[in-house]
């Protein structure tokens, strides 16, 4: 970000944003910045993903649990688990049923029976609720980590929804790459493996945007998003009109000697 060549009134307004509570709140909680930050290389996550390709179980927080499969995720989505769409704060029962499935897999039983077995599961299994939530979030992160290879969808501040339709689409693409039966992909293949095969499917179709982002690319994405947030706030504060947003954002993103 480059501010020195901006008009003085805009420079002053940007400086004031360091003490602007609303701007700082948005900056701290911005989902897009979080998403970009997660693109950075993390060797521990790489290792966890490797294990997810090789095994059906994984050790998280010193507890061995099943890796999420497309079937598990679909079941939890149908049960409206808040962990699958971030729609609300998870309740104790939400944690119980997710943790029960991670511990026991998706057994051949109907929804009511599974729900009954999951009641007070963490308490009965002596699992601390906070630890259980950490395990659940880690399992989800590992499951969808391969999707970091995909480029961000611009102009969307909401997280994608991995619903039943998306899972069905995923299964069809994995089948096209591997020849595995849809039943095997749904019930046996880890979601991590399925997402990696999904990326491979796109590559086979000639999509050259599927790759691990470099540090330089991540930095540029972060700068772009920060300038976007700055511009939105300056417009709200009447520093410049909305129709000039593209102009001033470009100015912030351009090296002075490149103008």
Chain segment 90-146, per-residue pLDDT in tens: 999 999 999 999 999 987 767 888 889 999 999 999 999 999 999 999 999 889 888
Averaged confidence pLDDT in the chain: 86
Count CB atoms within 10 A of the CB of residue 227.
Answer: 21
Taking 90 as the threshold, does the pLDDT of residue 85 lie above it? no
Q: What is the mean pLDDT of residues 155-160?
A: 55
pLDDT value at residue 43: 67
Considering only residues 23 and 2, tell me which one the structure prediction assigns the higher pLDDT: 23
- Res 160: pLDDT: 65
Question: Rounded CA gap, 58 and 55, in Å?
Answer: 7
* Portion of the chain with pLDDT greater than 90, in percent: 49
Per-residue model confidence (pLDDT) at position 258 = 54
pLDDT value for 235:
95
Given pLDDT bands bounded at 50, 70 and 90, which one contains residue 159? Answer: low
Q: Classify residue 209 by its DSSP letter.
A: T
Choice between 42 and 156, residue whose per-residue pLDDT is larger: 42
What pLDDT band is residue 50 in, cutting at 50, 70 and 90? low
Instruction: Answer yes or no: is pLDDT of 8 > 80.
Output: yes
| pLDDT, tens digit, 9 for 90 and up, residues 203-241 | 888 877 766 777 787 788 888 899 999 999 999 999 999
Model pLDDT, residue 147: 83
Does the pLDDT at position 5 exceed 90? no
Non-local (6+) Cβ contacts of 253 within 8 A are 1, 2, 223, 224, 227
Averaged pLDDT for residues 175-181: 92
Q: Note whether 106 and 75 are within 8 A (CB).
A: yes
Spatial distance between the Cα atoms of 147 and 136, rounded to a whole number of angstroms: 18
Distance of alpha carbon 253 from alpha carbon 259, whole angstroms: 11
From the list 92, 99, 104, 214, the residue with the least C-alpha distance to 149 is 214
- The 3 state secondary structure assigned to 76-109 is HHHCCCHHHCCCCCCCHHHHHHHHHHHHHCCCCC
Under 8 Å CB-to-CB from 6, ≥6 apart: which residues?
Answer: 14, 248, 251, 252
Residue 251: phi, psi to the nearest 5?
-60, -40
pLDDT of residue 236: 95
pLDDT at 35: 78
Q: Would you state the pLDDT for residue 128?
A: 95
The whole-number pLDDT of residue 114 equals 87
């Amino acid at each position: 970000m480059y501010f020195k060549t901006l008009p003085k009134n805009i420079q002053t307004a940007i400086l004031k944003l360091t003490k602007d509570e609303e701007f700082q709140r948005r900056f701290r909680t911005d989902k897009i910045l979080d998403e970009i930050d997660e693109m950075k290389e993390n060797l521990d996550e790489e290792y966890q993903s490797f294990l997810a390709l090789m095994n059906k179980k994984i050790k998280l927080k010193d507890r061995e649990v099943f890796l999420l499969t497309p079937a598990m995720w679909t079941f939890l989505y149908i049960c409206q688990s808040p962990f699958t769409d971030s729609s609300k704060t998870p309740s104790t029962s939400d944690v119980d049923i997710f943790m029960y499935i991670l511990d026991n897999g998706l057994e051949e039983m109907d929804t009511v029976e599974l729900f009954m077995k999951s009641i007070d599961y963490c308490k009965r299994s002596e699992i601390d609720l906070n630890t259980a939530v950490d395990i659940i979030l880690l399992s989800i992160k590992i499951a969808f980590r391969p999707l970091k290879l995909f480029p961000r969808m611009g102009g969307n501040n909401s997280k994608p929804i991995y619903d039943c339709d998306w899972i069905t689409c995923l299964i069809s693409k994995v089948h096209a790459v591997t020849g595995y039966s849809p039943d095997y992909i749904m019930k046996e293949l880890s979601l991590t493996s399925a997402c990696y095969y999904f990326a491979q499917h796109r590559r086979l179709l000639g999509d050259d945007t599927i790759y691990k982002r470099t540090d330089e690319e991540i930095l540029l994405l972060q700068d772009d998003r920060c300038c976007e947030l700055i511009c939105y706030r300056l417009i709200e504060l009447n520093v410049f009109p909305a129709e000039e947003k593209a102009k001033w954002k470009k100015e912030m993103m351009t090296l002075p000697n490149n103008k």
